[in-house]
């Protein structure tokens, strides 16, 4: 079933770029007259050759289009495109439309804060969304300066890419911006709480919803400090000053991504303003995100990829620089260790999946397909490769080439070949082999110890042959529990390594490869890991063990032994990419008796909780694990009442709703009880968790309600939709969820009629029947994923979920549960 809108093909973008030369955009938006829609008047000035092209506009109503003073037929608008016939010369195009406020994190998103019923708006023009805000030629290599005029309710503040002022109550005039791609244009408007500062001549700002103003105030010093430190380091490394005037960081509700690098006005998901106690890992994640978006001001904003097949020029560099800057100049010197937990497996899993793609030249045929390539390959793998490049070339050559790239293409667009040429001019030598093997070839090499032969074997993916040299250290355990490092150069199919005892290949994550512990090492780890104090070595252990289970190279019972012996609370977060989330999603379901395994893990969590220092990161992580694995409603209800909480742990919103979600999963709380908890503290975070808990209830009514969110009958904001999908499929509830397995496959194609873009693909993933570990389900998923009539982004997510299921079934086949 096709999308109602056409997504720009690369071939179309090339033709339109050859025809057009943009001068400027002038955009007037009326946000004050209606809560469902807004007025949009766009004036585009441009030059062109003679020829046919089209304008991108996706309105509720298209009122008029005037080209050089001549009215065009608005009825010719089809699938978001209005045909244009142009003579050679200068042109002015004026488009008047009514546009939709959206609630899916794209376009001009309007959210209502449940804490106080105030309305907030922000713009997310990424990937096909800009035409729902203003008429445009929506592709990254058609840049132009923007001037915005905004009418808004009088109690709102308006912030955009360039500095602005309130000309009269409710009327805001923003200065002309630097040249921007359409996807960078943003607007943040509402009764936001705003803080300002200045550093090195750059005006700084922070903003968030009024209901979390006190939390922003509490975090402001840290956020401003991170911003100052990052600017200083980026200026030192690049020698090119930040070129976009003001630097405002807006924390906005219901944001799909972690953040978006809009020049002058970066937008972040507002859970990054912490309203409950968080761990150090959460603060590191926020710090690296701040630095990541700042690095984008050069990598992506100053110089933008010509097309999405080079999005690594944005994301791989921002990922590398964000981690590097955070580790080098902020209080979070352990940022690379945290990245080992948070990002490494994200990238490795993506690189082994059916939708793997090269880091560069990813083959993005259109913008919609390209959105799916904002994945662990473009971020984590690309960052790892750049770190290797930097280690090989050294800072001098590395940054001399980068600066040459910036200066040659300032405020313009560039390609991979442009950057490689800049590095070669800087003294890097011929990079052809590097480009071919590391950037243009997908998949990771598999590196493992053949103990009997006394060699390390390097095997590239059969479908993606390459000749990649690897330099890394192996860690070898001694009988006394100590470890020594051995330097390895693996540049052939086999490399001698004759050692006794447990061996970890590349535990410090110095190359990009699938490095697997052998059986002897795996069996020794439960006794060895508790004594490992090197944080990076511990992170490397967990990365290797996760890869071993993912490839059916480890018995899940042995992995459970390791988890129980050394609960990975050093990775203090348990979000979807982290170690504990992997334990819940992979290790427990693959055990012979998942309930008994969960009980064993609960005892391990309680033990670690008892031995952890009060108010420590590890204590909070262990308590979260104890909640997530509890089977006793009595214990959970006791914690919910505030009694018997560990000394140093408070009953804040986060802890309370973790307990409530677990009680709901166990069927030990009613919907009315959940409603009462939400009514007592109706924050945005609580509303999301209430939706998760409701979907987790083991009742036919709860599952039927949750399914209406998937079908689109129930309209939910994006965060709540995700929470419902993740709460729906709970282990042990298969009798209730079983009938929905076939419904998922039957109804998935039709979801293109109720959602689009980011949320369309995310819902396909979150509602996938992940607890149905059956070959029949796998066959059904693979068949639908192969259907050429299915939306391309749905095919991509479905194929990836089918691969996860296939890998779990492979583990069960290799290590039967009986």
* 59-101 per-position pLDDT tens digit: 999 999 999 999 999 999 999 999 999 999 999 999 999 999 9
* Domain-embedded: residue 126: yes
Separation CA 514–CA 446 (nearest Å)? 5
- Is residue 816's pLDDT more than 90? yes
Pairing state of beta strands 119-124 and 20-30? unpaired
Separation CA 425–CA 435 (nearest Å)? 15
State how many domains the chain has: 1
Residues 6+ apart with CB under 8 A from 721: 709, 759, 762, 763, 766
Separation CA 33–CA 14 (nearest Å)? 39
Which pLDDT belongs to residue 2?
A: 59
* Domain-embedded: residue 274: no
Find the farthest-apart pair of alpha carbons in the chain and give their distance in angstroms, rounded. 85
Separation CA 497–CA 507 (nearest Å)? 16
* Domain-embedded: residue 481: no
Which pLDDT belongs to residue 25?
A: 98
Which pLDDT belongs to residue 43?
A: 98
pLDDT digits (tens, 9 = 90+) for 20-60: 999 999 999 999 999 999 999 999 999 999 999 999 999 99
Which pLDDT belongs to residue 366?
A: 80
Separation CA 655–CA 649 (nearest Å)? 9
Paired tokens of 556 = 């899940």
What residues are labeled active site?
293
Range of the domain at 28: 1-101+122-159
φ, ψ of residue 498 in degrees (nearest 5): -110, 100
Separation CA 537–CA 533 (nearest Å)? 8
Nearest to 291 by CA among 331, 255, 246: 331
Which pLDDT belongs to residue 557?
A: 97
- Going through 460-520 in order, the beta strands assigned E by DSSP cover 470-477, 483-490, 494-496, 503-505, 514-516
- Is residue 534's pLDDT more than 70? yes
- Is residue 1's pLDDT more than 60? no
Provide the mean pLDDT of the chain: 96
Which pLDDT belongs to residue 801?
A: 98
Number of Cβ atoms within 10 Å of the Cβ of 484: 11
Of all residues in the chain, the percent with pLDDT exceeding 90 is: 96
Pairing state of beta strands 202-208 and 247-252? parallel
Fill in the DSSP letter of residue 437: I
Separation CA 235–CA 750 (nearest Å)? 49
* Domain-embedded: residue 663: no
* Domain-embedded: residue 144: yes
* Domain-embedded: residue 707: no
- Is residue 362's pLDDT more than 80? no
Q: What is the CATH number of the domain that holds 77?
A: 2.60.40.1730
* Domain-embedded: residue 612: no
Which pLDDT belongs to residue 7?
A: 87
Are 368 and 3 spatial neighbours (Cβ–Cβ below 8 Å)? yes
State pTM to two decimals.
Answer: 0.97
- Is residue 323's pLDDT more than 60? yes
- Is residue 509's pLDDT more than 80? yes
Looking at residues 140-158, what average pLDDT do you find? 98
Are 803 and 353 spatial neighbours (Cβ–Cβ below 8 Å)? yes
Which pLDDT belongs to residue 82?
A: 98
Number of Cβ atoms within 10 Å of the Cβ of 113: 21
- Is residue 364's pLDDT more than 80? no
Are 756 and 3 spatial neighbours (Cβ–Cβ below 8 Å)? yes
* Domain-embedded: residue 8: yes
Nearest to 310 by CA among 405, 235, 393, 424: 405
């Amino acid at each position: 079933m096709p999308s109602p809108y056409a997504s720009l093909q690369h071939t179309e973008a090339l033709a339109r770029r050859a025809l057009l030369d943009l001068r400027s955009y002038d955009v007037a938006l009326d946000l004050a007259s209606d809560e469902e829609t807004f007025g949009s008047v766009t004036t585009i000035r441009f030059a062109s050759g003679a020829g046919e092209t089209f304008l991108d506009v996706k309105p509720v109503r298209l009122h008029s289009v005037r080209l050089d003073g001549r009215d065009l037929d608005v009825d010719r608008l089809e699938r978001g495109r209005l045909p244009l016939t142009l003579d050679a010369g200068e042109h002015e195009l004026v488009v008047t439309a009514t546009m939709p406020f959206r609630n899916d994190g794209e376009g001009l998103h309007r959210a209502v804060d449940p804490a106080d019923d105030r309305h907030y708006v922000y713009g997310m023009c990424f990937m096909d969304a800009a035409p729902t805000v203003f008429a445009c030629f929506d592709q990254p290599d058609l840049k132009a300066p923007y001037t915005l005029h905004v009418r808004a309710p009088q109690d709102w503040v308006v912030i955009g890419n360039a500095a602005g002022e309130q000309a009269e109550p409710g009327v805001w005039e923003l200065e002309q911006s630097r040249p921007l791609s359409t996807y960078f244009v943003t607007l943040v408007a509402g009764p936001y709480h705003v803080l300002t500062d200045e550093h090195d001549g750059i005006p700084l700002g922070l903003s968030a919803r009024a209901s979390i103003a006190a939390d922003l105030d509490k975090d402001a010093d840290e956020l401003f400090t991170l911003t100052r430190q990052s600017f200083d380091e980026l200026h030192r490394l690049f020698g090119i000053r930040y070129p976009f005037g003001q630097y405002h960081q807006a924390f906005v509700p219901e944001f799909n991504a972690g953040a978006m690098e809009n020049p002058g006005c970066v937008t972040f998901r507002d859970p990054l303003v912490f309203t409950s106690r968080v761990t150090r890992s959460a603060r590191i994640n926020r710090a690296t995100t701040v630095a990541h978006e700042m690095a984008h001001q050069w990598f992506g904003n100053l110089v933008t990829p010509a097309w999405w097949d080079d999005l690594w020029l944005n994301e791989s560099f921002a990922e590398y620089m964000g981690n590097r800057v955070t580790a080098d100049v902020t209080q979070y010197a352990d940022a690379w260790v945290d990245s080992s937990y948070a990002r490494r497996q994200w990238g490795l899993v993506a690189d082994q999946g059916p939708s793997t793609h090269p880091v560069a030249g990813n083959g993005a045929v259109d913008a919609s397909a390209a959105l799916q390539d904002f994945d662990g390959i473009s971020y984590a793998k690309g960052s790892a490769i750049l770190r290797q490049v930097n280690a090989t070339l050294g800072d001098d050559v590395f940054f001399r080439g980068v600066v040459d790239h910036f200066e040659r293409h300032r405020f313009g667009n560039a390609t991979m070949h442009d950057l490689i040429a800049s590095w070669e001019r800087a003294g890097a030598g011929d990079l052809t082999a590097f480009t071919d093997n590391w950037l243009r070839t997908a998949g990771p090499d598999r590196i493992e110890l053949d103990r009997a032969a006394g060699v390390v074997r390097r095997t590239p993916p059969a479908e993606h042959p390459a000749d990649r040299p690897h330099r890394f250290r192996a860690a070898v355990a001694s009988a006394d529990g100590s470890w020594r490092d051995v330097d390895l150069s693996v540049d052939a199919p086999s490399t001698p390594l004759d050692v006794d005892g447990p061996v970890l290949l590349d535990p410090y994550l110095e190359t990009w490869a699938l490095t697997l512990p052998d059986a002897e090492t795996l069996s020794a780890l439960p006794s060895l890991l508790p004594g490992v104090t090197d944080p990076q070595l511990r992170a490397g252990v967990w990365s290797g063990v996760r890869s071993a289970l993912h490839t059916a190279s480890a018995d899940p019972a042995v992995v459970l032994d390791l988890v129980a012996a050394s609960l990975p609370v050093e990775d203090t977060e348990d979000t979807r990419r982290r170690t504990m989330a992997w334990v819940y999603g992979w290790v427990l379901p693959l055990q012979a008796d998942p309930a008994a395994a969960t009980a064993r893990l609960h005892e391990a969590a309680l033990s670690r909780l008892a031995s952890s220092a009060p108010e420590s990161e590890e204590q909070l992580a262990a308590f979260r694990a104890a909640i997530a694995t509890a089977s006793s409603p009595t214990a959970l209800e006791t914690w919910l009442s505030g009694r018997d909480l560990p000394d140093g742990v408070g009953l804040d919103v986060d802890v309370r709703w973790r307990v409530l979600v677990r009680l709901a999963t166990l069927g030990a709380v009613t919907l009315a009880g959940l409603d009462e908890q939400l009514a007592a503290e109706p924050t945005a975070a609580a509303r999301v968790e209430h939706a998760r808990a409701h979907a987790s209830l083991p009742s036919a009514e709860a599952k039927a309600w949750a399914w209406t969110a998937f079908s689109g009958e129930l309209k939910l904001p994006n965060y709540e939709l995700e929470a419902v999908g993740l709460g729906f499929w709970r282990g042990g509830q298969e009798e209730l969820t079983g009938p929905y397995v076939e419904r998922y496959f039957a109804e998935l194609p039709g979801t293109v009629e109720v959602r689009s873009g980011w949320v369309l693909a995310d819902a396909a993933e979150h509602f996938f029947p992940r607890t149905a570990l059956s070959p029949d389900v796998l066959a059904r998923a693979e068949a639908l994923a192969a259907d050429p009539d299915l939306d391309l982004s749905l095919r991509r997510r479905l194929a990836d979920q089918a691969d996860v299921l296939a890998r779990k079934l492979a583990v069960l086949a290799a290590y039967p549960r009986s």
